């Protein structure tokens, strides 16, 4: 799976990029036909502590899976988003099994 990480207005360090790649590669165990993943990291200019937003778009055959989460750190947001995508992928796989 190809992973595109986009970070408008700041640059992500190599540790964060490798963390994202590691988390997203685990999603392939739930659904092996993921084409690519677009990851958008944003820092909101708010006074609140939860100002890190992550949006992950997985390109799948048929329809895409999307998860958008906010948290104090990008790592926390990535964890939450990958869990949400994991649920979506399991559901998609169940539907495909039901039709085949």
Question: pLDDT tens digit string along 21-36?
Answer: 999 999 999 998 999 9
Is 52:79 a contact under the CB 8 Å cutoff? no
**Count of domains in the chain?**
1
Query: The domain containing residue 12 runs over which residues?
Result: 2-99
Span 69-98, average pLDDT? 94
CB-based contacts of 28, cutoff 8 Å, min separation 6: 1, 34
Give the pairing of strands 65-71 and 52-59. Answer: antiparallel
User: Model's pTM, two decimal places?
Assistant: 0.92
pLDDT at res. 65: 95
CB-based contacts of 29, cutoff 8 Å, min separation 6: none
Between residues 100 and 42, the one the model is more confident about = 42
């Amino acid at each position: 799976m190809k992973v595109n990480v986009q970070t408008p207005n700041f640059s992500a360090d190599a540790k964060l990029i490798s963390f994202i790649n590691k988390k997203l590669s685990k999603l392939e165990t739930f659904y092996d036909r993921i084409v690519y993943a677009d990851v958008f990291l944003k820092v909101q200019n708010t006074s609140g502590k939860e100002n890190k937003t992550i949006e992950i778009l997985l390109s799948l055959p048929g329809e895409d899976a999307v998860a958008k989460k906010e948290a104090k750190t990008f790592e926390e947001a990535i964890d939450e988003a990958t869990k949400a995508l994991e649920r979506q992928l399991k559901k998609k796989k169940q539907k495909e099994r039901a039709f085949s």
